[in-house]
Amino acid sequence: MYNILLSPPIGFLITLFIVVLFAHMLRSLSFKPKKQPPDIGKSYACGEDVPTHLMQPDYSQFFPFAFFFTVLHVVALMIATVPVETKGSFAIAVIYIAGAVVGLSMLFRR
């Protein structure tokens, strides 16, 4: 009977119930302003008005860098974990390196 209480889903539900119970009990201690300020939903930019039409981030330089970082780290992990005594795994590592070269050449072609 007690083994079921030690399973991860049941433990998570018990912990979640305890946290929700504590949050409900401590809700009366939280700060509640008497009157909501009119600009409570506006973003803060050091006291300046933020033009929302200019706030569109450009990820065109981020994605190639993230792809480069991911490919090189997967290749480094693959090379570092290849057992030395097996020749079949060495071939897999060489295939990973070739795939990385092809992927990075596609990334940097213009």
Structural domain span for residue 92: 2-28+58-107
User: From residue 19, how far is each of 6, 7, 28, 30, 85 by CA, in Å?
Assistant: 18, 18, 15, 16, 52
Number of domains in the chain: 1
On the question of pLDDT at 16 being above 90, the answer is yes
Helix (H) or strand (E) holding 71: helix 62-80
Question: In this model, does residue 60 exceed pLDDT 90?
Answer: no
Q: Residue 43: inside a domain, yes or no?
A: no
User: Considering the domain boundaries, does residue 48 fall inside one?
Assistant: no
Tokens of 61: 């330089």
Q: pLDDT > 90: what percent of the chain? A: 14
Q: How far apart are CA 89 and CA 79, in angstroms?
A: 10
Domain assignment present for residue 90? The answer is yes
Q: Is residue 47 part of a domain?
A: no
> Residue range 56-64: average pLDDT?
76
- Residue-wise pLDDT for 62-104, tens only, equals 888 888 888 888 888 877 887 777 777 777 778 888 888 888 8
57, 63, 67, 74, 102 from 107: Cα distances, Å: 21, 10, 8, 16, 9
